[in-house]
Amino acid sequence: MKINAVTDGGIDAPSTVSLKGFGAANARIAVLPIEWSNGVKRRRTVADEMSKSKRGQHAESMQTLTAKIVCAYVTKNFIRPEVLPRFISSVYQAIDIARKKSISGNGSTDVRGALRPAVPITLSITPDAIFCLEDGKKFKSMRRHLTVCYNMTPDEYRKKWGLPPDYPMVASDYSERRSKLAKKARLGRRKRELAL
């Protein structure tokens, strides 16, 4: 393994360290300015920053949470040693699924893991509003909400929830009101029709 340090100038300036022998021809780690840690002067690396990132904290917290749940269960209940690894895995997966659902907000799941809408589909359409099946919020027009919050098109939304292709994305009263305003303003007419 060969380590070459290249400083860009000054003791507090960023630099890079080139690592050879780790499988990558020109692997480089950015080294950030020096920081004091427990009275010791040392350079921070991007790897240090990544370990502090939410991803690193999240992975550690999931493992810690899994360990706490398993320990609490095992102290009060008997589990055969050959079943323990499978139990640990299932607890970790359950926590991961719950985390993903809370992050994405893509509806909740029932016991079987099937999607369950926040509002019953039959009650999601009213004359004055459309209710989002993802989060149960009420809208006159839902297209923008789907795009901004869930990065979904109306067709993807319909497909995800098993809705018919003609399922509305705009409340009927709102659509009718907009249509009347457009007709009153003579929008959508050809120039020839306007000239007559």
pLDDT tens digits along 118-176: 889 889 999 999 999 998 999 999 999 999 988 999 999 999 999 999 999 999 999 99
Amino acid at 28: R
d(CA 149, CA 133): 13
Check: pTM over 0.75? Answer yes or no.
no
Q: What is the dihedral of CA 146, 151, 154, 159, to 10 degrees?
A: -120
Indicate the number of domains in the chain: 3
Q: What is the dihedral of CA 177, 188, 138, 134, to 10 degrees?
A: 160
Looking at residue 79, its pLDDT comes to 85
Residue 144 covered by a domain: yes
Stronger pLDDT, 43 or 183, i.e. the higher one: 183
Q: What pLDDT is recorded for position 180?
A: 93
Q: In which domain, by residue range, is 128 found?
A: 119-196
Domain of 123: which CATH number? 1.10.10.1550
